[in-house]
Amino acid sequence: MEYDSTMIHPHPRYGGLMKVSKHGADRMVKRGIKQAVINVVYAYGIEKGDKVVLTARMAAQRLEEAREEMRQWDAVFDFGGGSISDAMHRSAALEAEIKALEQVVRTRGATVVCVGDTLITTYRGSVQIKIH
């Protein structure tokens, strides 16, 4: 998928819409960072100034939680609880999240840099952060 500066995505952390600068779009394409990775960084990362950082350790922890949630949904579905459509929708969302988290773990973290509602750049790996 090719990105350009006019693309607007739902902002995963603050609601509303997030714009992607041309530089940010170019970096996403060049570095192979998909929107799903950006979403998990925003969902589970820590803000440090204009950066949102998701370390590999944080991603691995959430990955285990997501896999357990997937097993629970599978069990509910197997025993006929809930609707098929709810189970399929949640299962697909969890599969996409798990895939993105696996990529973050493999690449030793991910960082997104935004100014306001505009993604400026993103890169693999994470700076060392102190959690207070």
Residue 102 and residue 67: Cα distance in Å, rounded? 11
Structure confidence at residue 95 (pLDDT):
93
Structure confidence at residue 127 (pLDDT):
64
Residue 128 and residue 21: Cα distance in Å, rounded? 26
Structure confidence at residue 130 (pLDDT):
56
Structure confidence at residue 19 (pLDDT):
87
pLDDT at 31 over 90: yes
> Structure pTM?
0.78
Closest listed residue to residue 38, CA positions, set 18, 56, 22: 18
Residue 22 and residue 3: Cα distance in Å, rounded? 8
Region 66-90: mean pLDDT is 74
Residue 59 and residue 91: Cα distance in Å, rounded? 19
* Helix %, strand %, coil % of the chain (to 5): 50, 20, 30
